[in-house]
């Protein structure tokens, strides 16, 4: 009889099951399973290269914990094309133990009865809700995981929580009463719920200490815990494997809400991580893909002698003699490394480790008290309460490519391994983070930090929309992080490139506890559509598109934000604990799709000695901002503009007030001595010469960390503010704003001031003044006519000089930017005029500058027309 250790059984909140529980299967079903095992074992014994299971439906059960155990197979292909395995016991369906060079291909696996139930909420109050079980699904009791789904889309419902240990009472007639708990979320009558079952053996398919095993075209429709689980071994591959809901049960009319009860795919302690390619995981009860090993608790460290505690007896020690182990100093984040020379189990350490765990890691979910003595080749110099893990047993070398993870609770892809690739995947509908690199030392004790990882070409959608996760650090489309209060910058050399993050509540990207991260050419779309407090208790700014904390050497290039929602405030925010950032101002910007022509740009037009035509550089010497009568020109120093043309500081209240070609600094705050109660701003103004509809585009302002807030206000002439924002310390924000219909001679003022205090208020900025164009107005003359056809024919309609190699658009313009600028667009708008009046005269760019015009026609918009106000305008002045 095969007995597989029920790894992670209890920590998954699934009731522990023993062989004393009677099997629910029939003798015929158990005999069917045994005949399949006998067929495979015969091939193993004979050394056959392959064995084929005849296509058909097989109802299988077993008195053993595993229904189809396969032990010691090597150099074997198991063909199971057209085979449907239906487990009639809630147990592990199949295991490969101590096997190598094995391929298993083609089977579909399901359960009858299912290991979960589901239903519709028919009534509720503040403390409980009643669920009417759908026809064809069983009822369950106990303390199980309860997930809520939208009744229209059948997707995990925004604004709800996953409930654990809630208590379930069977009211009879197919109705269960569920405790609501302390959380009053968006739960509503009519919502759908899934409820995991109790008393079951994990998992669907287990690879235990097996290497070079390939699962191909294998589908799991349900599982008692994890769908696919590899534990130990390594270098296994998974091609076109699926964990997806199965067909309707007999008598059912509502499709299944759940596939596996827990993670779809989980990898632990492998020497070389898995390759997961062209696969799909949907509707699982927990993470999509998880790769990790264990942290072990340090009891004592004396030279080359080290005492450590493993998580539980089930888990044991997760490294071997000859493996590297890394020591993680909890208080400093320092990492040291040594090689294991010997290992001895010592139960006398267990009680002492319990005390250390309770003292230093009280929130850990596992005991961490299974004691071992190690000898090392060199000291690690650790202290009680520190942690160790092996980089040789954490799944490094993994690949996840062309795989879909969708509609489930928790993380889409959760990586705690190194030297890996996450490429061209779709993650859609993860209730916490989408793609997450994060050890979890303080709760799950799962390791470790990541290095040399590429996250490229993925699409992440609809993540972090679950309610009530203020203490969570992983609430982003893509997150590099760890448990809250970890101090070391232990992630390193991460590339995040060419990803699309769409419809995320809160940050699109979190980078924390890392050194050396490149963030290049990612798109953040439709962020911050819903309000969230996720991450706020752990320091995350949920209003930022990108949040950087306790990180260094992070660079940004070519990243764009489109359709920033009303709950977003900053393109990028870096905490004061971060340093060495580059491109934090120019490397992320807003884009827009309406046609406009850039007529002025702050940086491009800046002249050191005399402002360019239309421009003025000012400060509010005479009173609050908002009225140009209070504004006085700054004087050129030959490089910047200050109060009197000398280097700052100058006389109060101007003090450090300065505008330069790329940056600046305001004057005194309103509560500082010498300010006369008026905050002193620096002001860049531009006067238009043509009537039309205008906007500020391609704008950013970046406030350095360790400073105070900045007030940014935009107004026309002496009219009321069009846009007002508070720029927090360490933030990069856009102030893209529609300016409305302007007349010849109207002046646009952009004012940047301190709040109540001027403390390290240095900023960088840029912005453009754009006039809207009619679609198809390719030469920017205000009308769509034959001249625009000539431009299209000569530059967009064919390949040639100045075009990309594929002829898709101007050289240097990313593919897709000019896709909408085509003949059909020109033809459909022929005869239209721009927002400028017919009599106005616009400066028409020469053809060599058309690339710049086209970029101006497609890019750069922010929170259009949105403003923030405070209690009193006096605070702005």
pLDDT tens readout for residues 214-240: 999 999 999 999 999 999 999 999 999
Fold of the CATH domain 116-196: Thrombin, subunit H (2.40.10)
Provide CB contacts within 8 A for 163, sequence distance 6+: 145, 146, 178, 179, 180, 181, 183
d(CA 270, CA 391): 10
Q: Mean pLDDT over residues 53-64, rounded?
A: 97
Is residue 622 pLDDT above 80, yes or no? Answer: yes
d(CA 813, CA 591): 14
Q: Quick one: pLDDT at residue 193? A: 97
Q: Quick one: pLDDT at residue 166? A: 66
Q: Mean pLDDT over residues 236-246, rounded?
A: 98
- H helix or E strand, kind and range, residue 160: none
At 759-804, the pLDDT tens digits run 889 999 999 999 997 777 766 666 777 777 777 666 655 433 333 3
**Residue 506 region by backbone torsions, left for phi larger than 0, else alpha for psi between -120 and 50, else beta:** left
Q: Which of the four pLDDT bands, split at 50, 70 and 90, describes residue 146? A: very high
Contact 625, 876 (CB under 8 A): yes
Please confirm whether the linkage preceding 448 is cis (ω < 30° from 0).
yes
Is residue 475 pLDDT above 90, yes or no? Answer: yes
**What does CATH list as the number for 10-112+201-286?**
2.160.20
d(CA 171, CA 188): 20
How far CA 830 is from CA of 121, 595, 688, 744, in Å, comes to: 56, 15, 27, 26
d(CA 516, CA 551): 8
Q: Quick one: pLDDT at residue 600? A: 97
Buried b (16+ CB within 10 A) or exposed e, 73-86: beebbbbbeebbbb
E strand segments, 346-450: 370-376, 387-389, 399-401, 404-408, 413-415, 420-423, 426-430, 435-437, 446-447
Percent of the chain scored above 90 by pLDDT? Answer: 75
- Pick the residue with more confidence: 465 or 783? 465
- DSSP conformation class of 226: -
Is residue 378 pLDDT above 90, yes or no? Answer: yes
Nearest to 412, CA basis, from 433, 395, 398: 433
Q: Quick one: pLDDT at residue 471? A: 87
How far CA 853 is from CA of 478, 771, 847, in Å, comes to: 33, 11, 9
- Pick the residue with more confidence: 519 or 876? 519
- Pick the residue with more confidence: 135 or 538? 135
How far CA 332 is from CA of 379, 383, 537, 551, in Å, comes to: 17, 11, 22, 14
- Pick the residue with more confidence: 45 or 785? 45
Among 140-149, 455-464, 801-810, the range scoring the smallest mean pLDDT is 801-810
Contact 353, 347 (CB under 8 A): no
Q: Which residues pair with 129 in a beta bridge?
A: 124, 178
Q: Mean pLDDT over residues 142-149, rounded?
A: 85
- The pTM of the full predicted model, rounded to 2 decimals, is 0.88
d(CA 597, CA 600): 9
Q: Mean pLDDT over residues 269-278, rounded?
A: 98
Q: Which of the four pLDDT bands, split at 50, 70 and 90, describes residue 398? A: very high
Specify the pairing of strand 682-687 against strand 615-619.
antiparallel
Is residue 611 pLDDT above 70, yes or no? Answer: yes
d(CA 297, CA 281): 33
Fold of the CATH domain 596-771: Jelly Rolls (2.60.120)
Q: Quick one: pLDDT at residue 8? A: 37
Q: Which residues pair with 400 in a beta bridge?
A: 276, 422
Please confirm whether the linkage preceding 653 is cis (ω < 30° from 0).
yes
Tell me whether the CATH fold assigned to 10-112+201-286 matches the one assigned to 116-196.
no
- H helix or E strand, kind and range, residue 828: helix 823-828
Q: Quick one: pLDDT at residue 800? A: 36
Task: Tell me the pLDDT of the chain averaged across its residues.
Answer: 88
At 687-733, the pLDDT tens digits run 999 999 999 999 999 999 888 899 999 999 999 999 999 999 999 99
- Residue-range domain boundaries for the chain: 10-112+201-286, 116-196, 292-389, 449-591, 596-771
- DSSP conformation class of 803: B
Q: Mean pLDDT over residues 3-20, rounded?
A: 34
How far CA 249 is from CA of 88, 92, 118, 584, in Å, comes to: 13, 20, 12, 53
Q: Which of the four pLDDT bands, split at 50, 70 and 90, describes residue 862? A: very low
In the CATH scheme, what architecture does the domain 292-389 have? Answer: Beta Barrel (2.40)
Dihedrals phi, psi of 360, to nearest 5 degrees: -100, -30
Q: Quick one: pLDDT at residue 424? A: 98
Q: Quick one: pLDDT at residue 164? A: 83
Q: Quick one: pLDDT at residue 125? A: 93
Provide CB contacts within 8 A for 488, sequence distance 6+: 328, 329, 332, 333, 334, 335, 449, 513
SS (H, E, C) 423-466: ECCEEEEECCCCEEECCECCCCCEECCCEEEEEECCEEECCCCC
Dmax (CA) for the chain in angstroms is: 97
Q: Quick one: pLDDT at residue 799? A: 37
């Amino acid at each position: 009889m095969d007995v597989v250790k029920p790894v992670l059984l209890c920590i998954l909140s699934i009731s522990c099951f023993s062989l004393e529980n009677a099997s629910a299967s029939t003798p015929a079903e158990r005999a069917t399973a045994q005949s399949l095992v006998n067929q495979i074992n015969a091939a193993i014994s004979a050394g056959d290269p392959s064995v084929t299971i005849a296509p058909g439906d097989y109802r299988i059960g077993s008195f053993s914990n595993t229904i189809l155990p396969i032990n010691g197979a090597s150099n074997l292909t198991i063909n199971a094309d057209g085979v449907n395995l239906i487990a009639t016991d809630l147990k592990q369906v199949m295991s490969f133990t101590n096997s190598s060079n094995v391929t298993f291909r083609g089977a579909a696996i399901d359960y009858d009865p299912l290991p979960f139930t589901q239903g519709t909420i028919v009534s509720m109050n503040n403390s409980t809700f009643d669920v009417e079980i759908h026809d064809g699904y069983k009822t369950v009791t106990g303390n199980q995981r309860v997930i809520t789904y939208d009744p229209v889309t059948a997707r995990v419902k925004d604004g709800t929580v996953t409930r654990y240990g809630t208590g379930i009472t069977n009211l009879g007639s197919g109705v269960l009463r569920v405790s609501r708990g302390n959380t009053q979320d968006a739960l509503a009558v009519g919502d759908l719920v899934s409820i995991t079952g109790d008393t079951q053996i994990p998992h669907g398919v287990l690879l235990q200490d097996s290497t070079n095993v390939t699962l191909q075209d294998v589908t799991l429709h349900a599982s008692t815990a994890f769908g696919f689980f590899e534990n130990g071994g390594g270098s296994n591959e998974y091609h076109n494997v699926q964990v997806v809901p199965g067909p309707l049960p007999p008598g059912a009319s509502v499709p299944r809400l759940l596939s596996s009860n827990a993670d779809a795919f989980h990898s632990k302690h492998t020497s070389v991580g898995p390759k997961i390619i062209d696969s799909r995981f949907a509707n699982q009860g927990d993470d999509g893909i998880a790769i990790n090993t264990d942290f072990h608790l340090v009891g004592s460290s004396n030279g080359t002698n080290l005492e450590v505690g493993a998580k539980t007896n089930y888990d044991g020690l997760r490294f071997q003699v000859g493996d590297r182990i890394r020591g993680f100093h909890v208080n400093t984040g320092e990492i040291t490394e040594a090689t294991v020379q010997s290992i001895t189990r010592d139960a006398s350490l267990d009680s002492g480790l319990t005390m250390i765990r309770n003292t230093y890691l009280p929130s850990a979910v596992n005991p961490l008290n299974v004691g071992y003595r190690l000898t090392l080749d060199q000291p690690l110099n650790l202290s009680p309460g520190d942690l160790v893990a092996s980089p040789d047993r954490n799944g490094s070398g993994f690949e996840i490519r062309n795989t879909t993870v969708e509609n489930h609770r928790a993380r889409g892809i959760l990586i705690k391994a190194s030297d890996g690739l996450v490429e061209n995947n779709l993650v859609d509908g993860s209730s916490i983070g989408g793609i997450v690199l994060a050890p979890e030392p303080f709760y799950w004790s799962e390791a470790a930090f990541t290095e040399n990882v590429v996250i490229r070409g993925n699409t992440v959608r609809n993540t972090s929309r679950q309610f009530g996760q203020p203490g969570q650090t992983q609430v982003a489309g893509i997150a590099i992080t760890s448990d809250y209060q970890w101090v070391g910058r232990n992630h390193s050399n991460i590339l995040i490139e060419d990803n699309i993050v769409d419809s995320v509540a809160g940050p699109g990207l979190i980078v924390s506890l890392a050194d050396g991260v490149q963030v290049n050419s990612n798109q953040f779309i439709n962020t911050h559509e819903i309000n969230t407090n996720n991450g706020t208790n752990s320091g995350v700014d949920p209003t930022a598109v990108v949040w950087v904390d306790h990180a260094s050497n992070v660079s940004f290039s070519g990243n764009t934000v489109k359709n920033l929602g009303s709950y977003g405030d900053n393109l990028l925010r870096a905490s004061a604990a971060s340093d060495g950032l580059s491109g934090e101002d120019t490397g992320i910007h807003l884009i827009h799709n309406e046609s406009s022509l850039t007529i002025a740009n702050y940086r491009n037009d800046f002249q050191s000695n005399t402002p360019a035509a239309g421009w003025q550089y000012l400060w509010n010497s005479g009173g609050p901002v908002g009225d140009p009568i209070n504004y006085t020109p700054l004087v050129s120093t030959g490089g910047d503009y200050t109060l009197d043309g000398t280097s700052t500081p100058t006389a109060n209240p101007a003090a450090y007030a300065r505008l330069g070609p790329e940056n600046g600094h305001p004057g005194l705050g309103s509560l500082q001595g010498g300010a006369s109660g008026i905050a002193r701003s620096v002001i860049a103004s531009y006067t238009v010469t043509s009537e039309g509809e205008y906007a500020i585009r391609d704008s950013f302002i970046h406030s350095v960390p360790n400073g105070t807030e900045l007030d940014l206000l935009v107004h026309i002439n002496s009219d009321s503010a069009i846009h007002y924002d508070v720029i927090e310390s360490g933030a990069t924000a856009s102030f893209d704003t529609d300016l409305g219909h302007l007349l010849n001679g109207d002046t646009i003022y952009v004012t940047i001031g301190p709040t109540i205090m001027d403390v390290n208020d240095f900023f960088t900025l840029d912005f453009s003044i754009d006039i809207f164009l009619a679609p198809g107005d390719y030469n920017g003359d205000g009308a769509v006519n034959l001249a625009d056809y000539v431009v299209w024919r000569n530059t967009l309609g064919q390949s040639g000089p100045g075009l990309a190699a594929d002829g898709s658009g101007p050289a240097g313009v990313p593919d897709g930017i000019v896709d909408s600028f085509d003949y059909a667009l020109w033809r459909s708008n022929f005869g239209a005029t721009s927002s400028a009046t017919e009599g106005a005269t616009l400066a028409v760019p020469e053809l060599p500058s058309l690339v710049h015009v086209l970029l101006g026609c497609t890019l750069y918009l922010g929170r259009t027309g949105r403003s923030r106000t405070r209690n009193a305008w006096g605070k702005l002045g």
